[in-house]
């Protein structure tokens, strides 16, 4: 384990004492280190003033972009972007230029005091700078090194660059997402990113456990593409067993009917309803006051209902359109029928259940102001996590990290800053 340092996580947290040097960008890698940081790992987010994390946004963004508070980029917009600030709470933020010899010397020292190094660059990017796993092992023999290129570090696609927006298509996910009779549809978010981050976090925990038992580090090759493929395992197995490709069916189910979302009273308000048994179908009919449907012998079984789903969905929609989604949900839940409102962002923040569990936390950010952020997704009685501090500004912790952790003097830090090797203001015109 790395030694304790000022500001280290409380010792009661599961990963207290572990240090992660995070070179990753955008979502997949940062989501991994967010999970580790939530469990107490000390995460050092490393960027450079020339090339920094895309999620900070451009240097001079236009007004009206929702990622910024009140859609205003404001001063230092690279420190105000909600995408970045949501994923990097509780982390140290530093900048370091690895194309400068003095920057490489400092990086060597950072690797030597880190338990984990993680990056999601294009294949071979760090190795071309002289930092392959074998070279970094010379600096820290028991290092756990995680590489997360889009297509992994082997295979004919390994040199290709890709982002989450294209992974759903190549993974086969988009082929099963959409509505009957229509073409493939991308999901609302890039699912490959967060699932890859979750996979990487789990692999790191296993590697650290292995290191504790053997004293040996590990190279972890995580393909973002293969993580996306893992999400459609049941569909792949189904095709192998039956030879039939999965059908796009929107919100409908291959087992239950009705099974859909239905428009409610108000603008863009919806409720999800599922009748998972014949008894639930009967109770749904009674709740809607549709005894005629309950008596219809052709609808008495799921097979019969699936054959007439358009008719059923029309009847249910006619009923829900005149009612509030919470009213529908409470009525049907009371009758023993699965139902829930489809919550939008304001609904999530206002929901009493989420409020009671502390699902969202409020945090003051020095550049972005006070806002709600997603909190910890789990509750551990003996080792509770902690969101810690707000996300770091670009290069905010250069001095404490390089001085207190690496051991540089103030004069050496000043020299790095004067030479442009570190800094807190972008010097480039783009991000990658």
Q: Is the pLDDT of residue 8 over 60?
A: no
* Phi and psi, residue 263, nearest 5°: -65, 140
Calculate mean pLDDT across residues 221-227.
93
- Distance (Å, rounded) from C-alpha 268 to C-alpha 410? 57
Same domain for 148 and 266, yes or no, is no
Same domain for 266 and 166, yes or no, is no
CATH number at residue 272: 3.30.1540.10
The Cβ of residue 359 has, within 10 Å, a number of other Cβ atoms equal to 16
With bands split at pLDDT 50, 70 and 90, how would you rate the model's confidence at 381? confident
Average pLDDT, the chain: 93
Same domain for 126 and 179, yes or no, is yes
Domain ranges, residue 140:
19-231+358-418
In a domain, 213, yes or no: yes
In a domain, 250, yes or no: no
pLDDT tens per residue across span 306-323: 999 999 999 999 999 999
In a domain, 333, yes or no: yes
pLDDT of residue 378: 87
Domain count, the chain: 2
Per cent of the chain over pLDDT 90 is: 83
Structure tokens belonging to residue 396: 């905010």
- Last residue of some domain: 317, 343, 369? 343
Structure tokens belonging to residue 383: 């080792």
Structure tokens belonging to residue 336: 């023993």
pLDDT tens per residue across span 289-307: 999 999 999 999 999 999 9
In a domain, 238, yes or no: no
Same domain for 204 and 323, yes or no, is no
Calculate mean pLDDT across residues 378-384.
84
In a domain, 138, yes or no: yes
With bands split at pLDDT 50, 70 and 90, how would you rate the model's confidence at 11? low
Provide the pairing of β-strand 270-274 with 339-341: antiparallel
Same domain for 155 and 189, yes or no, is yes
Same domain for 73 and 193, yes or no, is yes
- Last residue of some domain: 300, 319, 343? 343
pLDDT of residue 287: 97
Give 178's DSSP letter. Answer: S
Same domain for 373 and 287, yes or no, is no
pLDDT tens per residue across span 335-370: 999 999 999 999 999 999 999 999 999 999 999 999
For 125, counting Cβ atoms within 10 Å of its Cβ (0-12 exposed, 13-18 middle, 19+ buried), the class is middle
Q: Is the pLDDT of residue 2 over 50?
A: no
Q: Whole-structure pTM over 0.75, yes or no? A: yes
Could you tell me which residues come within 8 angstroms of residue 261 by beta carbon, excluding any fewer than 6 positions away?
Answer: 251, 270, 271, 272, 273, 342
CATH number at residue 123: 3.40.50.10540
What length does the chain have?
Answer: 432
């Amino acid at each position: 384990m790395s030694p304790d340092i000022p500001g280290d996580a409380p010792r009661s947290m599961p990963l207290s004492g572990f240090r992660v040097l995070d070179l990753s960008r955008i979502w997949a890698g940062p989501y991994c280190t967010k999970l580790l940081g939530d469990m107490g790992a000390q995460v050092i987010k490393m960027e450079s003033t020339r090339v920094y994390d895309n999620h900070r946004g451009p240097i001079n963004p236009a007004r009206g972009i929702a990622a910024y508070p009140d859609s205003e980029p404001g001063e230092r917009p690279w420190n105000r972007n909600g995408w970045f600030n949501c994923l990097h709470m509780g982390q140290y933020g530093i900048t370091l230029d690895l194309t400068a010899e003095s920057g490489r010397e400092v990086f060597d020292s950072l690797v030597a005091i880190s338990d984990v190094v993680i990056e999601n660059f294009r294949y071979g990017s760090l190795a071309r700078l002289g930092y392959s796993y074998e070279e970094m092992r010379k600096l820290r023999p028991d290092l756990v090194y995680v590489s997360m290129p889009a297509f992994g570090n082997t295979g004919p696609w390994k040199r290709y660059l890709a982002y989450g927006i294209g992974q759903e298509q190549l993974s086969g996910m988009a082929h099963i997402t959409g509505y009957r009779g229509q073409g493939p549809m991308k999901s609302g978010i890039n699912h490959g990113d967060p699932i890859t981050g979750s996979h990487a976090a789990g692999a790191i925990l296993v590697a650290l456990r292995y290191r504790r038992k053997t004293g040996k580090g590990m190279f972890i090759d995580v393909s973002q593409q293969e993580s996306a493929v893992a999400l459609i395992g049941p569909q792949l197995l189904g095709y192998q067993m039956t030879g039939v490709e999965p059908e796009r069916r929107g919100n409908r189910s291959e087992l239950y009917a009705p099974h859909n979302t239905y428009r409610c009273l108000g603008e863009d308000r919806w409720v999800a309803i599922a009748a998972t048994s014949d008894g639930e179908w009967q109770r749904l009919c009674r709740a809607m006051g549709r005894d005629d449907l309950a008596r219809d012998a052709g609808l008495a079984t799921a097979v019969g209902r699936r054959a007439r789903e358009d008719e059923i969905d029309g009847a249910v929609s006619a009923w829900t359109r005149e009612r509030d989604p919470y009213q529908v949900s409470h009525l049907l839940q009371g009758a023993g029928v699965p139902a829930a409102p489809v919550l939008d962002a304001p609904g999530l923040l206002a929901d009493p259940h989420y409020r009671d569990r502390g699902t969202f936390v409020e945090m003051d950010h020095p550049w972005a102001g006070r806002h709600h952020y997603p909190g910890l997704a789990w509750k551990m009685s003996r080792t509770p996590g902690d969101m810690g501090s707000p996300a770091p500004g670009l290069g905010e912790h250069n001095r404490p990290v390089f001085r207190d952790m690496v051991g540089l003097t103030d004069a050496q830090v000043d020299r790095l800053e004067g030479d442009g090797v570190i800094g807190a203001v972008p010097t480039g015109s783009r991000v990658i």
